[in-house]
Chains A and B, each alone.
Chain A
């Protein structure tokens, strides 16, 4: 067709009038044929892209029911809603962090993979998450990030590493009843006797909140120990569980069936300083020998009650967005690596060789040769990811638990939630959609321009 056009449109003497009209006719025919060829694509594009975009723009000026024209109200409402503002903030974080990280990671991996022997196997492995659907990946990561170490693998790791370096306390749940048991709670979680005691006296320190099943083996009732009187130069006492199984015990008194709390660290404190330390026996009794006369307080240090380390709150309000970005990286790293890897293998080897011959080290080659030569590929990957990140939806929707959903929300989820996920305000939803469109357009324009340039 082009060939005909060129032939017919070639410079000809204008005098030959029948020839000119024939040329015009055939030119028109060519245009009609061209139009016919483009028509299906135009129709499809019009119906599937242009019309919906225009419809959304129009819809965004109407209220929830779609009958009342509200002008720009949806747009002002949008920027007043704290959830939308959060969505804009989060989308910004996503766009700034995720594509840059991914391109960087992809580049590093691609360069490194080139140098290993099992390159293909390695690439395959990294590329595999791409085959997992976002929904499935979301469910996997929701579990992996679970805060309960029994469920979430990441916290299981965090907790076991932490516990390797720090012992867990014996009675994390134990506590004194408010104003009972003669104990006062200090700000650091330790308990100390409210009054002072001196050698020759004994104390009974009652705690509650420990399950009988959690007591160590061989625990004995504290009743006998509590009845013992202290020798003249010793300070003694008992730490006991002030709760009779099945109820019926008297509060603040060592009842017959109440158990001691063995293995509890006890300190004798004088003038704010710990002068003696001991540990309770199997019936919960303890004794300090050879103390100087004077007033002491007995303290149960906080280490007895330290709550077990609970790991990191991955899906808490602060970490939820980084956590979801992490899941996104897991899926897309392979993509970035393979694309950049393809670009890498197309690099002119001679320039690399030349650099090497000139004595450049690997880092210099990477910085000065590889990266500049790869720049077009890196931009394509980067821009593709930017567009992709703007519309991220499934991961955010699935991974973020209900209470933090608003803290994790991005524009795409917000748009869906507002229009269909309960809000049922498709006017406001369309406004959000238009905002998203406006944000994506610069990246699109950039991409199209680049395409044009590279075609020339």
Chain B
């Protein structure tokens, strides 16, 4: 998901063009099938960032809903900028009933503007029964539950080429130190250890977040994410130093720092799973599997596998996540049917529909793991659900966009500078704090 939103500039541009096209064509109302037809004759409009395969698979879930209730559904793709599109639709009196919100920050923004309807009692009960409390927290603003996390991403997975690791004779490591040691052995074997996508700032923030969550612990992570803790804190400097150990080692990074800064996310996957491998491992979320499979024809589980991001120091292994939350808009025309859709999406049954189609993780702990199409996805889903309440959302997604989500500025740019020259973690922390202070104040 995250990747789809931010890949490279080029694909971003094409995606934008596609998304504009998709908005225009929308999606036709789906005719009703069997079921009890309690909502016969109603149409639920759903807006979300998904296009292409993701949209097609989500449509399957919507079709299942139609079959059950008789309500017709229309999916409208908003392209990357959900908040702008939804905002203008509300103003234009054409609000969708349900929006799939891709970021915590956007959910908060919607709730504060008073656009959202709290979840119905049935949906709340379903959330309590099916989800770890952390997901409820991330769906709530000021103690009111608005969002239901339907789709999740697992961003603490290190993907590797089993061939490369066998060739080097190393096992998937269990700690960060082992990770560096394994990396050095891989590089002795002639292949660089990691391919780092330094051209895309968001991959670097994800690196940092995993190290920080494991090293400093979830409490500090939460405090830093809301900027109650300053970036100049010793724990940040420590995490940057730890990360710097990897960044400064030319043997560990494909192409050295300069090469990394010139590699975008798809490129980093290509360096491990492409036709001419240059590195043994690439760290990013579960969506790496999708790229390795679709673009480079790798068989997930055989030619591409993952191990969980290892624990740093004495900490627990981190599980950084993200997700799309379904919300119901107050201005929608058929809110009742919209809420019924949310109630449906909260059930394991709905998640199973997409899980079978692939490219999907559900935070719903009652989803039968057998419904996932392949072993690797099953493993990621298991690890995500097993992490329970220690799951944390992507920190940069929680920050104001000026700090955590802008190409060439804020955290993205500063971590890129850090990758170019990792010698001064303290200085980097100070710059991060300055940028964060400005961005959080601007958000004010």
Contacts and interface: CB of A to CB of B under 8 A. Distances in A.
Task: Place the interface of chain B in its size category.
Answer: 35 or more
Contacts of B251: 175, 209
Contacts of B200: 402
Nearest to A248: B169
The 5 A-B residue pairs with the shortest CB-CB distance in the complex, in nearest-first order = A247-B169, A405-B408, A422-B406, A211-B190, A208-B188
A402 B201 contact: yes
Interface of B: 9-10, 13, 166-170, 185, 187-191, 198-201, 251, 261-262, 264, 400-402, 405-410, 412-413, 416, 420, 442-444
A97 B191 CA distance: 44
A173 B187 CA distance: 10
Nearest to A148: B262
Contact of B402 (A243, A409, A423): A423
Contacts of B420: 403
Given A421-B407, A424-B402, 4 more contacts: A398-B13, A401-B262, A403-B416, A422-B405
B409 A406 contact: yes
A243 B413 contact: no
Contacts of B401: 422, 424
Contacts of B166: 246
Nearest to B192: A173
Nearest to B9: A398
B402 A65 contact: no
Interface string A237-263: 000001111111000000000000000
B188 A209 contact: yes
A417 interface: yes
Given A211-B191, A421-B406, A401 B169 contact: no
Nearest to A408: B408
A48 B294 CA distance: 48
A417 B409 contact: yes
Contact of B442 (A64, A135, A210): A64
Nearest to A403: B416
Interface string A208-225: 111110100000000000
Given A402-B413, A403-B416, A177 B408 contact: no
A234 interface: no
Interface string A407-433: 001000000010001111100000000
B199 A243 contact: no
Contacts of B189: 208-209, 211, 243, 245
Contacts of A422: 401-402, 405-407, 409-410
Interface in A361-412: 398, 400-406, 409
A402 B412 contact: yes
Interface string A133-158: 00100010011000110000000000
Contact of A403 (B168, B169, B199, B400): B199
8 contacts: A64-B444, A139-B10, A209-B190, A211-B189, A245-B167, A400-B408, A423-B402, A424-B402
The bracket for how many chain A residues form the interface is 35 or more
Contacts of B416: 402-403
B13 A423 contact: no
Given A209-B251, A423-B409, A135 B9 contact: no
Contact of B406 (A173, A245, A401, A423): A423
A142 B13 CA distance: 12
Contacts of B261: 403
Nearest to A135: B13
Contacts of A173: 190
A401 B191 contact: no
Contacts of A135: 13
A135 to B, nearest CB: 7
Contact of B9 (A142, A209, A248): A142
B188 A243 contact: yes
A375 to B, nearest CB: 41
A247 B410 CA distance: 42
A280 B9 CA distance: 48
A177 B189 CA distance: 11
B265 to A, nearest CB: 11
Given A148-B262, A247-B169, A401 B187 contact: no
Interface string A168-203: 000001010100000000000000000000000000
B406 A417 contact: yes
Given A135-B13, A142-B9, A247-B185, A406 B262 contact: no
Contacts of A210: 190
B9 A403 contact: no
Given A247-B168, A422-B402, A423-B442, A406 B408 contact: yes
Nearest to A81: B438
Nearest to B6: A402
Nearest to B198: A403
A421 B261 CA distance: 22
Residue of A83, A242, A424 ringed by the most chain B CB atoms within 10 A: A424
Contacts of B407: 402, 405, 421-422
Contact of B408 (A143, A246, A247, A403): A403
Given A403-B408, A417-B409, A139 B190 contact: no
Contacts of B167: 212, 245-246
A243 B168 CA distance: 8
A409 B413 CA distance: 13
B402 A406 contact: no
Nearest to A251: B188
Contacts of A403: 198-199, 201, 261, 408, 413, 416, 420
Contacts of B262: 147-148, 401
Nearest to A400: B408
Given A245-B189, A247-B170, A422-B402, A139 B409 contact: no
A139 B11 CA distance: 10
A246 B409 CA distance: 43
B444 to A, nearest CB: 7
